[in-house]
Amino acid sequence: MKRLMLILTILILAISLCATVSAENTQNKNEPLEFDPFENNDEELFGSTNGEISDPIEGYNRVIHAFNDKLYYYFLKPVAKGYSFIVPKPARVCVNR
């Protein structure tokens, strides 16, 4: 048993030492990034963004969105409220896990 604990301790120590990162490999936090991911330069790449964007399936999207909205509001939300009223909280937590 002691030998197993010694082997496990050495293994855990070896794994934790492998996961350390040297300071010279990390980037200095005060240095600016070469590329700013939040910089918004879409106008330079794609031209002006003031024009209207064409959506060929806009009608379909509107119908599906309206259907999903009504389904949620009139069917799924009442079913969820009824389920939470009928099923006790410990049973709901077990189902969630």
Examine residue 62 and state whether it is found in any structural domain, yes or no: yes
| Residue 82 resides in a domain | yes
Distances (CA, A) of 26 to 21, 68, 87: 8, 48, 52
pTM for the structure as a whole = 0.41
Report percent pLDDT > 70 for the chain: 67
Let me know if residue 83 belongs to a domain.
yes
Let me know if residue 37 belongs to a domain: no
Q: Does 3 map to a domain? A: no
Tokens read off for 76: 């799924």
30-65, pLDDT tens digit by residue?
666 676 767 776 666 666 656 677 889 999 999 999
Distance CA 59, CA 61 (A): 5
Cα gap 87→81, rounded to integer Å = 10
pLDDT at 10 over 80: yes
Residues of the domain holding 68 = 58-97
Separation between Cα atoms, residue 93 and residue 84, nearest integer Å: 11
